[in-house]
A = this chain, B = another copy of it.
Amino acid sequence: MVTRAGLDALLNPRSFALIGASDKSTFSLLVHGNLDAAGHRERTFLVNPRSPEVHGRATYPSCVAIGMQVDLAFVMVPAARAADAIKDAAAAGARAVMVLSSGYAETGPAGRARQEELVELADSLGVAMLGPNVLGLVNVTAGIPAMALSDPPTEAGGVALISQSGASCGAMKDFASMAGVNLSHVITVGNEAMVTVAHLLDHLVDDDSVRAVAIFMEAIREPALFAAAARRAARQGKAIVVLKAGRSELAARAAASHTGALVGDDRVVDAVFADLGVIRVDTIEDMLVTAGIAATTGRIERPGIGVVSISGGACDIIADLAEGVGAEIPELTAATTATVAEKMPDFGHAHNPLDVTGAALIDTDLWEHAIEAVGNDESIGTVVVVNSLPWREDGRPFYGQKYVDAIGRGMKASAAPALYVTQVPQPIGTQTREVLRSGGVPHVVPGMRAAVEGIQRVVRWSRDVARAGREPEQVERLEVRKGRYSEVDARGLLEQAGVPVVPALHVHSAAEAEKAAASFDGPVAMKIVSADVAHKSDIGGVRLGVTREHAGAVHDEIVAACAAADPDAVLDGVLVSPMRAPATELLVGVTRSDEWGPVLAVAFGGVLVEVLDDAALAPLPVDEARVRQLLTSLRGAAVLDGVRGRPAADLDSVCRAVVAVGRLAERLGNDLESLEVNPLRVHGSEVEALDGLVLWRE
């Protein structure tokens, strides 16, 4: 059990013990050096029974010997002595320990066993353990660099960074510093034996200093807690940006080999993140830049981006980049255009993206005026101001401060949040930060690609976050028979759940078959009914386009063929239903993920599914709006608009049917392996399931 008190001790300790402190240990040198430099020397105690002096300071033989409350202990002793160290720390009042040493689960089964012993011990002592195999954390807001990495960040901001990788965390915090993304926390989690990313996320979401969370992870260890924390973050308007490795087979294998954790089905992870409003990215820089943007803008009210720049080339590049990611650069209203045009030179054009032209070199107010006008346009949700900034930290005076000042004034007068964007990625060093601060510029984004892509991610998140924040409704359980289901059984469930199903008559003789066929217009489809037959066509159990006069004979042929092909199968007659004209076909299926519960998939049937290999997934429950998003996200979605003379699909009816399938799957509970409608036939407003499959876990 990881308690709130334990996490508090981990994230906000007032006193520190370094168990295994040594002049030869890089960990010890770094942790001590960092705490010392941050002013914690008096409350940092070095524990080493064999050296009276370490780092030039007197040591203690144990934590208990310090004679003072220790909040957080760093365990840097070999595995054999780790348990004693934890006990000693707990005895001195520590509610949290970090085990920096390696030699645990990452080395194989023996190490895993050692690790589990430590978890049990920590648990029994009521201590929260971070690690093992961890580099520690920095609470930047509180000025606590409890970390074995050099140059811990000192300028606090709104982005909390959590990393499963210690080795990459150095690069992450360095990039954040270079890119002007100020952090509230930097936390590595090592082997996540006890305190996981989910625990930390859950804790940080309620921290007022945190306005966005950036996470690098390979596996998600506590899915339910992670999901609950993500929903709470969504309700608070705090974006979570995750770089989750394991999209590729190769990365999944690599991650498994060095963390021992399975990365999970990547398409399901994508679906779950979309459901939770978690923003997924592919690089460290996108993770941090996007979190930095979200921390600055919060929820963005409209998708439209207004661009103001002094370079025509930059305007062109940014327009192309925006189109590439589906970001909107809308035309300005007539009123805005008129306001902008007032101050523009004759050869300029008051459009979006707006090139203020070289005239702004002389008339600096043109910057302010343009940003204010664009930022108050009713179609604009964010303003991007592209301009240069100094990047050489060489102390030379910056001739462009007056432009930054004018930009800062414009940003203040803009209703939409505004970001200062450099044309290319560049470091935001001490001098540049001073330039921005003095100009009153709230946030800078390094490079146009990072800006456009990052803003677009935050725009999509803003659109989805209300849904993500809703707690899923609990459904009433439907108690039904489990075991093997025939198509007739499956049809029964679907009909009961309100899914439209093609009419059918269940017959047990040639005579009944003929009569059934005669009751429908035109030819019929005939299918064997058996809970024991999974692939009916393969054994001659399906005949299509049967005319009334042949129905009796075909009945007997089907039964005979199936009996011959699978003598053990219990056959239960034949299903007779009317043939339907060719139409758009959907696959609608629900499968169960061990981590995330039931997951709905929709895809096009027929040629499209084979050619496009495309399906859209979402964890249940889904509502009609969500199903509509899924359908329109499919690569072949244009087929729903009606092609080759077919009518456009009645999406409301389709969505209702899909929601009913999802709802049914939820109500059937955890023993359901899968529920599938294949195909769901769609022809204008005609929507019906032509076949259904229910599988229970054995």
Contacts and interface: CB of A to CB of B under 8 A. Distances in A.
Nearest to A393: B393
Given A355-B254, A427-B391, A447-B283, A167 B607 contact: no
B425 A258 contact: no
B391 A245 contact: no
A255 interface: yes
A635 interface: yes
Interface string A230-256: 000000000000010111111101110
Contacts of A151: 392
A370 to B, nearest CB: 15
Interface string A167-196: 110111011001000000000000000000
B282 A320 contact: yes
B422 A248 contact: no
A223 interface: no
Interface stretch (A88-96, A483-491, A636-644): A636-644
Interface size of A as a range:
35 or more
A434 interface: no
A610 B635 contact: no
A545 interface: no
Given A611-B638, A636-B612, A316 B246 contact: yes
A351 B254 contact: yes
A438 interface: no
A653 interface: no
Given A285-B425, A316-B254, A447-B283, A644 B610 contact: yes
Contacts of A313: 163-165, 167-168, 216, 218, 245
A68 interface: no
B165 A312 contact: yes
A682 B424 CA distance: 49
Contacts of A247: 320, 323-324
A108 B345 CA distance: 13
Contacts of A606: 644
A426 B427 contact: yes
Contacts of A425: 175, 178, 285, 425
Contacts of A106: 347
Contacts of A102: 358
Contacts of A322: 248, 250
Given A164-B313, A283-B321, A608-B611, A353 B427 contact: no
B311 A167 contact: yes
A100 interface: no
B427 A243 contact: no
A171 B391 contact: no
A107 interface: yes
Given A248-B323, A320-B247, A643 B427 contact: no
Interface of A: 102, 106-108, 151, 163-165, 167-168, 170-172, 174-175, 178, 216, 218, 243, 245-251, 253-255, 257-259, 282-285, 310-317, 319-324, 329, 347, 349, 351, 353, 355, 358, 388, 391-393, 422-427, 447-449, 606-608, 610-613, 635-639, 643-644
22 contacts: A102-B358, A151-B392, A168-B317, A168-B423, A170-B388, A245-B319, A247-B323, A248-B323, A250-B323, A251-B320, A251-B323, A253-B351, A254-B315, A254-B351, A255-B316, A282-B324, A285-B447, A427-B427, A607-B639, A610-B638, A611-B638, A611-B643
